[in-house]
Amino acid sequence: MSPTEKGKFCSSCQKNVIDFTKSSDREIILAFKKEEKLCGRFRISQLDREMIIPKEKKSIWIVAAASLIAFLGLGNQTAKAQGKIKIEQTENKQINDSKSSNKKLKIYTGIVYDEQNFPLPSVNVNNKRKNSTTYTNFDGTFSIMAKKGDVLTFTFLDYDQVKFKVMDETNIQIILKSNDNSNITDVVVGYPSIIKPAKK
């Protein structure tokens, strides 16, 4: 839709009205050079003042200046240190350390029994050095990552704690002995009683 169809038409000069309210001085002058007799809409700050047109910088000068600065910057880098510069490659060393530590770790599996050779479920198996914990399943079996020399701690309610030092054998069998708490035989169960008030 043209400005005339939208109602932007000057009836006194019989020309389309151009909206210059958001135009820069350069855009206004370019429009004036195309057509000298214009009818336009302006902001108050755009009226009764001299128009300022910044000079265009030729792009060739910008490219030349950037090239000169880049050329002068080449070769000026110098390394300054307090002493002799040492170059050290640490990545391979770190990779080798992690590979060797991972080679030492193994998965140790086993079963935890009670004194009657029944498997114990939910026994806490802890590797303190690796800071990892697991529990035995319903069949009393477990698996945990450890390396030779680690100490595994097995704990379960009403059983003595067992510490086991890991060696070359990856299949472990542990027997937990129950605590001798024979003096705890009485179980007291309490429940509240309800007293109904007497009727009058």
Biggest CA pair distance of the chain: 116
Q: Is the pLDDT of residue 174 over 90?
A: yes
- Comparing CA positions, the residue from 104, 124, 120, 100 lying closest to residue 112 is 120
Q: What pLDDT does residue 61 have? A: 76
| pTM (predicted TM-score) | 0.42
What average pLDDT is seen over the chain? 77
Non-local CB neighbours of 26 within 8 Å, separated by 6+ positions:
53, 54
User: Could you read off the pLDDT of 96-137 as tens digits, one per residue?
Assistant: 555 555 557 888 999 999 999 999 999 999 998 888 899 999
